[in-house]
Each structure stands twice: as structure tokens, then as C-alpha cells.
């Protein structure tokens, strides 16, 4: 198998030990025959400039041949919006996409767990704020879940907790995702 480059997207860049987690994920990529590109791999100097970070991330995504997206919920029941953006950016480029998360629930159940019971009206489910809740037995918003499947990839979920709750690094699911990616892209 020729070496393939994986863009490592996810909210783990916001963890205090983000750089160490990135290194660990890059090592795991090597173990599976991939090269991992992590968004924090850049000059410290560029960290403080939103435009430079944006362009550096877009460049990394253009360089990568595969996208690996940490979709563990971040600041709400859904994935990080920056990660959702990156799913579409790489989907539009026609690259295979893999998702992973440290929770195994569906979006519907996480909305109920976060905001309270979901009620049905004319068969349609609504949250406590009277907004419809997607009920497709999918991990997250259908645009994200379907893009991954349409790209030929899969979304892997493995429960893993730390002191915060669901592990935002999601290393077990990440490794399971690498396993699937290797077998699919062999």
C-alpha cells in the first residue's frame, strides 16, 4: 500500500494537551501505514492569527488524501462546527472521509439528554425549544453523517470516558477508525 496522508480534524486541538494528542495520533497513523497531518503542526507564530490558521488548515486538507474527523460532541450535542466545516471541504474534493467519536449514542438521544424530553406532534419530534429534531438513527446532522457514507468511508463509535466525560481525544475510536481505513483503502 502506498503511503497515504490523513488530515486529522477535530476539537482535540482545543485540549490543554493538544500537541501531545496530535503526536500520539500521528504515531498511530504511522503504525497503520499512514502519514497524519495535524492542524497544530505549524509555527507557533501563526497560532494567533485566524487568517493564517484558516489558510494553513485549508492547505493541509488539500495535501491530505484522506480525512479523519473526530466528531465527539463539543459544546453541545453535535460535533465541533469547525470540524463539520472540514468534513464538507474534503467531501467537496472527493476524498474518502472517516468519522470517529467517543460516544455511541445517536444525535436524537443526545438532544434529549442535553435539552430534555422530545415530544411528538403530528408524528414529528420537537425539542423543548419547539425545534424539530432529526430522527434518522444517525450519529449527527444528516449532512455530516451522509457525506461520510457517500464518500465511501465510515463513522466509528467507541465509548471512552475521562474526567471530563466522553473523551475529547477519542483515542480508542480513532484507532478503530484507522483500522477500518486501512482495510478499506488497502
d(CA 77, CA 95): 26
Q: Report the residue number, 65 or 78, with the smaller CB distance to a copy of itself.
A: 78
Inter-residue long-range contacts of 35-39, CB under 8 Å, 24+ positions, other chains counted:
35/3, 35/4, 35/5, 35/6, 36/5, 36/6, 36/8, 36/68, 37/5, 37/6, 37/7, 37/8, 37/63, 37/64, 38/8, 39/8, 39/9, 39/13
63 near a copy of itself, judged by CB under 8 A:
no
Site membership for a copy of itself, residue 76 (CB under 8 A): yes
Residue 81, interface with a copy of itself (CB under 8 A)? yes
Binding footprint of a copy of itself, residue count (CB under 8 A): 54
Burial 48-68 (b: 16+ CB within 10 A, else e): eeeeebeebbeebbeebbbbb
Nearest 5°: phi and psi at 184?
-75, -35
The single residue among 65, 70, 78, 102 that binds a copy of itself, judged by CB under 8 A, is 78
Window 96 to 155, contacts with a copy of itself (CB under 8 A): 111, 114-115, 121, 126-127, 129-134, 136, 138, 140-147, 150
Residues 19-48 touching a copy of itself, rule: CB under 8 A, are none
List residues near a copy of itself by CB under 8 A: 11, 13-16, 18, 50-51, 53-54, 57, 74-82, 84-89, 91-93, 111, 114-115, 121, 126-127, 129-134, 136, 138, 140-147, 150, 164, 168
Amino acid at each position: 500500500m502506498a503511503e497515504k496522508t490523513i488530515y486529522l480534524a477535530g476539537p482535540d486541538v482545543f485540549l490543554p494537551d493538544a500537541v501531545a494528542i496530535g503526536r500520539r495520533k500521528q504515531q498511530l497513523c504511522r503504525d497503520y501505514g499512514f502519514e497524519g497531518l495535524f492542524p497544530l503542526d505549524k509555527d507557533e507564530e501563526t497560532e494567533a492569527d485566524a487568517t493564517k490558521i484558516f489558510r494553513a488548515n485549508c492547505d493541509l486538507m488539500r495535501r491530505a488524501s484522506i480525512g479523519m474527523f473526530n466528531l465527539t460532541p463539543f459544546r453541545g450535542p453535535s460535533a465541533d462546527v469547525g470540524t463539520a466545516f472540514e468534513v464538507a471541504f474534503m467531501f467537496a474534493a472527493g476524498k474518502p472521509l472517516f468519522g470517529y467519536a467517543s460516544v455511541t449514542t445517536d444525535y436524537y438521544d443526545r438532544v434529549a439528554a442535553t435539552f430534555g424530553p422530545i415530544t411528538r406532534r403530528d408524528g414529528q419530534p420537537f425539542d423543548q425549544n419547539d425545534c424539530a429534531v432529526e430522527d434518522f438513527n444517525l450519529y449527527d446532522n444528516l449532512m455530516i453523517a451522509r457525506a461520510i457514507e457517500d464518500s465511501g468511508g465510515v463513522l466509528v463509535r467507541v465509548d471512552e470516558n475521562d474526567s471530563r466525560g466522553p473523551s475529547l481525544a477519542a483515542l480508542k475510536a480513532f484507532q478503530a477508525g484507522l483500522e477500518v481505513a486501512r482495510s478499506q483503502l488497502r
